[in-house]
Amino acid sequence: MEETAYAKLNLALHVRGREADGYHRVETVFAFAQAGDLLRVAEGDSLTLRIEGPFASQLTAEPDNLVLRAAAALRQRFGIARGAALTLDKYLPIAAGLGGGSADAAATLRLLLRFWALPNALEELVPIARALGADVPACLLSRPVRGEGRGDNLLPLAHWPLAGAPVLLANPRIALSTAEVFRAWGGRDRGALGEPMTGRNDLEEPALRLVPAIGDVLEALRATKGVRLVRMSGSGASCFALYEHDQARDTAHAEIAARHPGWWLLASNLRA
């Protein structure tokens, strides 16, 4: 069995305040690409993890890996005696604002739900997901949703006009710590989130100060034809562009790949 860990995008991310416990109150709209990391499972005597793929060298299969933590939490919650031999094909860059680790943990829960034949709906796994990280509940659903609080209070969207929208993801291959970006946030509440297309990412400014190359990525995406929206995702350094049609996205992909061969790029479409 296998499961995709869909790349997470924040179409908009408004930071509303910093709480006494150090966490931040946010308002965001989560969207997901149709591509991402790939997780596979086979029978095993215990819980094991092997990591492969282009970004495998940046991760270790230690017990604190989110994949193994998710598997252990699910097994404990339902009293599962079986093991699972997990393999993670890591295609998404690390510390990139795409929810890679959170998406991997969420995919683990979805995959093992099937592998261990647990008769539970995904929504019942949200408490497990929330304990693993603020983005994990949204990644568990992997469908468009609004997030509030720490981002783990999820609200359905009244409508979603962007199903299938062509998207191009770009990263300058520079890892960026989410904690550092939030610490660099200026603390000013710039207002509530309305429509995601007219929103903003309040972490873009502090991320740019830490990694100026993000500005080059945004500029390159904005210079392409047929683009509808360009924004940084999450805490960076990944950025994305939505396009009018697949051909415009594919042309932009080819042009940016030629001009910036060192960047990581992914052409996909948004999930419904």
Q: Which amino acid is at 186?
A: G
Contacts of 211 (CB under 8 A, 6+ apart): 172, 174, 176, 236, 237
**CATH classification at residue 59:** 3.30.230.10
Within this chain, do residues 172 and 109 fall inside the same structural domain, yes or no? no
Specify the pLDDT at position 87. Answer: 98
Active-site residue (options: 37, 104, 135, 202): 135
Give me the helix-helix angle, 246-259 and 213-222, nearest 10°: 140
224 within domain boundaries? yes
Active-site residue (options: 8, 90, 104, 152): 8
Specify the pLDDT at position 258. Answer: 98
**CATH classification at residue 207:** 3.30.70.890
Specify the pLDDT at position 119. Answer: 82
User: Which tokens belong to 46?
Assistant: 């215990």
Q: Tell me if residue 90 is catalytic.
A: no
Query: pLDDT digits over 36-62, tens only?
Result: 999 999 999 999 999 999 999 998 888
Where residue 108 falls (left for φ over 0; alpha for ψ -120 to 50; beta otherwise) is: alpha
Q: Domain count of the chain?
A: 2
Residue ending a domain, choose from 93, 128, 155: 155
Q: Which amino acid is at 28?
A: T
User: Which tokens belong to 272?
Assistant: 């419904």
Q: Which helix (H) or strand (E) holds 36?
A: strand 24-42
Q: Tell me if residue 8 is catalytic.
A: yes
- Structural domain including 212 reads 166-269
Low-confidence ranges of the chain (pLDDT < 50): none
Within this chain, do residues 149 and 119 fall inside the same structural domain, yes or no? yes
Residue ending a domain, choose from 136, 155, 174: 155
User: Which tokens belong to 242?
Assistant: 């939505």
